[in-house]
Structure 1
Amino acid sequence: MMISVGNIEKSYGEVKALRGVSLEVKEGELFGLIGPDGAGKTSLIRILVTLLKPDVGSATVNELDVVKDFRKLRNQIGYMPGRFSLYPDLTVEENMTFFATVFGTTIEENYHLVKDIYQQIEPFKERLAGRLSGGMKQKLALSCALIHAPKVLVLDEPTTGVDAVSRKEFWEMLKRLQKMGITILVSTPYMDEANLCDRVALIQDGKILTIDTPEKVTQSFGHKLWAIRSDNMYLCIRHLREHSESDSVFAFGEYLHVTWKDQDMQADEMEKYLSDLGHTNVEVKRTEPGIEDVFMDLMQKHDN
């Protein structure tokens, strides 16, 4: 295992950010840490990159302890924090040179690692980093995180606030880096990005809800799932939640995703229930669960 985490706990005063977190990431794996803001993703990542000490538990990266061996470990980790953390008053090239120098290397020595990424921003190498677009800042930050040839790449919500095209390009870059043998741990609040990982850990309120491949996570959803809509979606949510057999009702785009305590509930029964309450243009159909459906289901069980 390239990353091993055992029973990690971390608190900030009375706020418990991590509650007995344990997970393992295999060498060469692209592992996703999936959860909403405040779930504990950043706290765990900062512990793994030696910026925070855990209150309880232990963690190793490439068999080096994150507390005892932090000096050795920093040379083996490439870290891209959630916020743009490079020097905005230095140019693209000056930022790259600075980070290479800090790690005792040069841009030329490890250029093969960043070539595909850096070539996209190299025409702007004289531009100040603070004046780059969001997608270009992202590529520069990734290039700086890779310039010392790390064995592990740790990315904290790298695509937050980035347009859809840049998000797609970024994940394509991660896949190429994985093929070069780099182990990647990436956190994201976007459930659709979970499907791009080899395995994922769903985290909420500082606890791991489940760890598995995206396919097995979705297969674990143990209910029939229905997509329902009507002309009045606000009332539709309320009326469905008031039904005695209602198990869960969540908004998903233009539909509501609904599960029932009675697994034998039929579409015509749902349509009649809503129509009798005055709903028009009622649509009811079966649908397949996604990662977000599983997450909401696990979160509801966790809260109960």
Structure 2
Amino acid sequence: MLFVSIEIDVKGVSKSYGKTKVLQGINLQIQPGQIYGLIGPSGSGKTTLVKLIVGIDSADEGQVEVFGKSMPNLELLQDIGYMAQADALYLELTGYENLAFFASLYPMKKTELTKRIAYAAELVKLTGELKKKVAAYSGGMKRRLSLAIALVHDPQILILDEPTVGIDPELRLSIWNELMHLKNEHQKTILITTHVMDEAEKCDIVAMVRSGALLKSGSPADLKAAYGVRQLEEVFLQAGREQP
């Protein structure tokens, strides 16, 4: 892996689908070991931006670099863990079989694979449910399994699109505690999208996205100080009013 001072670099990125402009002139940089939050309402362009960073889609204008290399780039996928907004699971397989299948896509010895599956399952509190077919899982359990799959190959970068939707508050807190642990103890870089402001408060840097444009970015504390407010939601509202 190539270590660089900026792990994710988005330069002047725009994207349209047909005549609809989904992203316009997005610039952002994510440094190693940060939890970086993309916040904004549904339809603001967060998921499209995430797909460009992961390499699922390509920008019409501008460039996305991960570890200093242009995306899309298949070689970098083993260093990225991606959790999509919609669960992409094999319903006819068990939870364990899903984890084993996705883990097998990466170069890993069998002993390491077994350890990583156990770790990821324990993290999302699914250890006792792994023998069940995913078709029998609740919506929250499917989200938890999707997160475990994103973590199972021990990637340097985690990209999580609305990871806590449909998850109960206790497990949501547990997952955030683990994300903090991954950042602090393992220096993982985490990009997370959310529309929940209390989650955004836990990020090192937040970027506020609305109507495909980046309104403001900075640490939660700096943004609140700049606008003289106590809540990030107020920053978002005021920044939106400034948007032309």
Same fold (TM over 0.5): yes
Q: CA RMSD in A?
A: 1.7
Q: Who is 1:7 aligned against?
A: 12
Percent identity, please: 35
Alignment of 1:240-251 (within 5 A): none
Alignment of 1:268-287 (within 5 A): none
Q: Who is 2:210 aligned against?
A: 204
Q: Relative contact order (C-alpha < 8 Å, sep 6+): which is higher?
A: 2
User: Which SS does the other structure have where 2:217 is aligned?
Assistant: strand
Which of these residues, 167, 186, 191, is aligned with residue 192 of structure 2?
186
Q: Who is 1:245 aligned against?
A: none
2:67 corresponds to 1:126: no
2:54 corresponds to 1:43: no
Residue 21 of structure 2 aligns with an amino acid whose one-letter code is K
Per-residue Cα deviation, 1:19-47 (whole angstroms, up to 9, x for no partner) = 00000001011110111101110011001
**Structure 1 runs of 4+ off > 3 angstroms?**
110-117
Contact 2:210/2:240, CA 8 A, preserved across alignment: yes
Q: How far apart in 2 are the matches of 1:193 and 1:149?
A: 23
Aligned-residue offset at 1:115: 4.6
Structure 2: which 5+ residue stretches go unaligned? 1-5
Contact 2:120/2:149, CA 8 A, preserved across alignment: no
Q: Who is 1:34 aligned against?
A: 39
User: Which SS does the other structure have where 2:201 is aligned?
Assistant: helix
Per-residue Cα deviation, 1:271-301 (whole angstroms, up to 9, x for no partner) = xxxxxxxxxxxxxxxxx53000110111112
Of 123-132 and 35-44, deviating more is: 123-132
Residue 187 of structure 1 aligns with an amino acid whose one-letter code is T
Q: Who is 1:22 aligned against?
A: 27
User: Which SS does the other structure have where 2:25 is aligned?
Assistant: strand
Per-residue Cα deviation, 1:173-206 (whole angstroms, up to 9, x for no partner) = 2112212121100000111211110111011111
Larger Rg: 1
Q: Who is 1:60 aligned against?
A: 65
Per-residue Cα deviation, 1:241-297 (whole angstroms, up to 9, x for no partner) = xxxxxxxxxxxxxxxxxxxxxxxxxxxxxxxxxxxxxxxxxxxxxxx5300011011
Which of these residues, 97, 100, 123, is aligned with residue 97 of structure 1?
100
- TM-score under structure 2 length normalisation: 0.91
Q: How far apart in 2 are the matches of 1:107 and 1:172?
A: 28
Alignment of 1:120-159 (within 5 A): 120-159=125-164
- TM-score under structure 1 length normalisation: 0.73
Per-residue Cα deviation, 1:197-219 (whole angstroms, up to 9, x for no partner) = 01110111111111100101111
Per-residue Cα deviation, 1:59-116 (whole angstroms, up to 9, x for no partner) = 111122103xx11121211100011111121101100110011223256415555655
